[in-house]
Amino acid sequence: MKTTEINRRGFIALGAGSLIAPTFAAISDPAQPLERIKRLNLKASVEDNLIGEFLQPRPLSLKVGADKPFSALHFSDTHVSMADAADILAGGARELRLYEARNHGVFGRGGFPFAVQSLAATLAYAKRKGIPMLNTGDLFDFRSEANIACIERSFAGADVFSALGNHEGHGLHTPGMNGQTAKAEDALRARYEKVIGNPLVVASRVINGVNFVAFDNCEMSRFIRDRMVDMIKAELEKGMPTVLMCHMPPFSRKLYDDMMAMHRARNASYYPKETNLTAYFMMGEDFQKSRAPKAFRRLFEYLAGRDNLKAILCGHLHFEWQGTFNGKVPVVIAGRNFNGECYEIAFS
């Protein structure tokens, strides 16, 4: 499969999406089969091969009130799915089955066979362009020493700022991942913070006068959720133009309608039921009949009145989408980085 063919498929998907809903910008489709064979040009450099075959950057512009224009690469949902011999032997047959299913796509489940190549292409592209990377979670798919080591080595020396995803925070099918006490969750966060390179509860980074604030809305910080909301509010009170980064997107009816229009034939449990929208997204604008945590309700009520909130960057849904929060703040959902998707955002 050549790069031109990948881009052609993406273009066709984009055209179909625009016919359904003109404001719905999404080229990636979770129902679309992933490519299983990629051929490399052995005469080209490794970086050229990786970028050409495993990356699909999409340009996007956001006006956020920066002191001077700059660009950054927004990516999400890489889902590195690795296990070494010790991981498998420590868990036994169940871990072996998980590794095979998630990495190779067997047992009737979708896998992530090119996650590492896509991550390498993302890192190489950002380094070549000299731009920072903004990651919104699910770097790896399940807890394993091999996955953690992969991210730690890959991120060494990289210019990346990250928010926590549900797969880092909760793991997948692997017992013992969720901390049952505040102390246990503190220990898990401390380990991931060392690997990823920034705090995972709330972290901030200023780039050209814009305050990027990443926070955990994936429940790993549930014991300190109220304090986390106060920390986010303190960042916004600094008065700088602010871009929030979190894994799960804020709920809106438009997002749900676009999901159903694009995936109306899907019956998988991955997609929320109409009666369970706010519980699925865990946070959002519409709090009626919502089981969203009170702290997140308080946060979004506060955010609705903040003029210096300029954008929200998210992931989680495995397709690209652009919409708004509270009818005015741009929401950008990055697609499947395990299939090479990312946004190259020009901030101004």
- DSSP assignment of 229-275, as one string? HHHHHHHHTT-S-EEEE-SSPPB-HHHHHHHHHHSTT---TTSPPGG
Six-digit token string for 254: 């438009």
Per residue in 33-51, pLDDT tens?
445 455 566 667 889 989 9
Q: Is the pLDDT of residue 312 over 60?
A: yes
Distance CA 94, CA 173 (A): 9
Q: Are 188 and 179 in contact (CB under 8 A)?
A: yes
Q: Is the pLDDT of residue 280 over 90?
A: no
Minimum mean pLDDT range among 60-69, 96-105, 109-118, 262-271: 262-271
Q: Angle at the Cα of 183 (from 84 to 215), degrees rounded to 5?
A: 80
Per residue in 169-200, pLDDT tens?
765 444 444 556 788 778 888 888 998 999 99
**Hey, is 224 helix, strand or coil?**
helix
**Which CATH number fits the domain 55-77+114-144+152-347, given the four candidates 3.40.50.300, 3.30.750.180, 3.30.43.10, 3.90.930.12?**
3.30.750.180
Q: State the pLDDT at residue 301.
A: 87
Q: State the pLDDT at residue 257.
A: 78
Q: Using 50, 70 and 90 to split pLDDT, how confident is the model at 14?
A: very low
Q: State the pLDDT at residue 322.
A: 95
Q: State the pLDDT at residue 57.
A: 97
Q: Using 50, 70 and 90 to split pLDDT, how confident is the model at 287?
A: very low
Q: Are 232 and 242 in contact (CB under 8 A)?
A: no
What are the residue boundaries of the structural domains of the chain, listed by start? 55-77+114-144+152-347
**Hey, is 88 helix, strand or coil?**
helix
Class of residue 310 by CB neighbours under 10 A (exposed 0-12, middle 13-18, buried 19+): buried
Distance CA 175, CA 164 (A): 19
Q: State the pLDDT at residue 282.
A: 52
Six-digit token string for 303: 């955010």
Average pLDDT over residues 82-99: 77
Q: Is the pTM of this model over 0.75?
A: yes
Per residue in 315-332, pLDDT tens?
988 889 999 998 899 999
Average pLDDT over residues 15-24: 33
